Amino acid sequence: MQQAGLEAFKHRKAETSGIYSFENQPKTLPKNYEKKFRSNKKAWQFFAEQAPSYRRVMFFYILSAKQEATRLKRLEKVIAASGKRKRVM
């Protein structure tokens, strides 16, 4: 890093760090969603075998919806695809 970058980093503010969505992606599903997902053993097994990066993207895809109905619809879509041993793209 250049000197100017080091100076800028030194003067950063804690309240403006870690505020962007890519810095705060959910790492797990809420308990009720995970329970619903785990109830389909075949789908959960396939999903659990996927790379952590894919799982994080799917968690963000599901949980980024504003409405509960949309979150549940996305969860069902991921469960259905995983049950067929396919990824959601």
Domains of the chain by residue range: 26-83
Helix residue ranges, H only, the chain: 3-10, 31-38, 41-49, 52-63, 68-83
- The token duo for 19 is 């505020």
- The token duo for 46 is 């396939």
Per-residue pLDDT in tens (0 to 9) along the chain, 89 residues: 799 888 888 887 777 766 565 666 777 899 999 999 999 999 999 999 999 989 989 999 999 999 999 999 999 999 999 999 999 98
Q: Give me the pLDDT at residue 9, please.
A: 80
pTM for the full model? 0.73
